Amino acid sequence: MDIFEKLFAPAEFARRVADTKASMRKAGFDLIVCQDPANMCWLTGFDGWSFYVPQCVLVHIDEETPIWFGRAQDAKSARITTDLPDQNIVPFSEPLVQHPVNHPYDELAQLIRERGWGKAHIGVEMDAHYYTARCHQHLTKGLPEATFANNADLVNWARLIKSPAEVRLMRDAGRICTHAMNRAIEVMKPGMPQQNVIAAIYEAQTIGVPGAGGDYAAICPLMPVGEGTSTPHLTWTDKPLPDDVLTMIEIAGARRRYHAPLTRTIYLGKPPQQMLDVAKVVVEGVDAGLATAKPGNTAEQVEAAWQAVLRRNGLRKDSRVGYSIGLSYPPDWGERTVSLRPGDTTELQEGMCFHIQSGLWLADFGVAISESFVVGKGGGERLCDVARELIVIE
């Protein structure tokens, strides 16, 4: 019985590794240590909820195949989810898990020395969420003759342009997100306990849509209510939804770790005209951004198109308006590469994917009607299909 469907052919992983090595040569690295679980998955296919302990994938400039290094009980996961040869699946000793003195990266340093790479120029992921200060301390102590540097999210940048197979997964994620958001809107009403709305979202995200089952999202559903909508990252409570109130939902659909986020703003009752007016400006601004998101234009030009609409209407947004998305694990569905903001001159290319997070968080309320999109020949192609307005439930 085949218990795990591998979505990409070995040739696609070989291309990804080759692209990564090209970037390594340009940066002067002999070896990179990738602890970001999304980078581990992108390079090898490895997928498992094991990122709470030290683990990584090594890419050496002269080694044909990456090396997976992780907890002994997770080595079988590497054999199930990847096509790595057994000799490139290297477990560390179980007693090292959360040991007060010794550390798994003591054995990683030993592995690197045994491979003859003890004097290598090594790039590490200084901004990866799970690459801890202790990981770095033990790795550098165990390799005193090596030189270390931040690899500047080298693999994250290699992931920026999605292959056709990846774009298909992004579109599936968009369909799942559409289903989950519409389901949330369907169950919302005054008096409904907030956690019941979230439960409906989780069910829809997990069940997915015909032909595409859902995966767990890198961020839990966000659902601020009332004045809470004036800040973006509140979750939910067990209180019932009140009458005559504004609320906001930000979720993502996830398909085999590929994410399509979406935000919608909902009013229970009759909304004030000010909120309706702000919502219209937000939608117009997003449309301007999508129209500008053509190959050859830059990330900052997309942001400028959005800001021009805001300025015409007496509004402004100080934070970035969007960021690249794709393959992700908790705690974030962003790729930590391109931002839609002033000064980011990254040239857009077909196959790049973004979340244009158009939220405006004002003094007493907020409105966000965002879109995930893939860059196509004619501009940004939306991945989701949910009503693009202030959604009113009376």
What confidence score (pLDDT) does residue 309 get?
A: 98
**How far apart (Å, rounded) are the C-alpha atoms in residues 226 and 109?**
52
Residue 112 and residue 76 in contact, taking contact as beta carbons nearer than 8 Å: no
* CB-CB neighbours of 233 under 10 Å: 9
pLDDT tens digits along 3-54 = 789 989 999 999 999 999 999 999 999 999 999 999 999 999 999 999 999 9
Q: What is the pTM of this model?
A: 0.96
Q: Which two three-digit tokens encode residue 343?
A: 């000064």
How far apart CA 377 and CA 321 sit, in angstroms, is: 21
User: Pairing mode, if any, of strands 379-382 and 360-361?
Assistant: unpaired
pLDDT (tens digit per residue) in 327-373:
999 999 999 999 999 999 999 999 999 999 999 999 999 999 999 99
Q: What is the reported pLDDT for 170?
A: 98
CA distances to 64, 352, 373 from 297, rounded to whole Å, are 36, 12, 15
Q: Name, in order, each residue with C-beta under 8 angstroms of 225's C-beta and a sequence gap of 6 or more.
A: 194, 236, 237, 239, 241, 242, 245, 246, 247
Alpha carbon distance 95, 92 (integer Å):
9
pLDDT score for 175: 98
Q: What is the pLDDT of residue 280?
A: 98
The whole-angstrom separation of Cα 391 and Cα 281 is: 14
Q: What does the pLDDT read at residue 201? A: 98
Q: Are 31 and 59 in contact (CB under 8 A)?
A: yes
Sites in the chain below the pLDDT cut of 50: none
Domains belonging to the chain, first-starting first, are 10-158 (3.40.350.10), 164-393 (3.90.230.10)
Query: Checking DSSP bridges between strand 391-393 and strand 258-268, what pairing results, if any?
Result: parallel
pLDDT of residue 3: 78
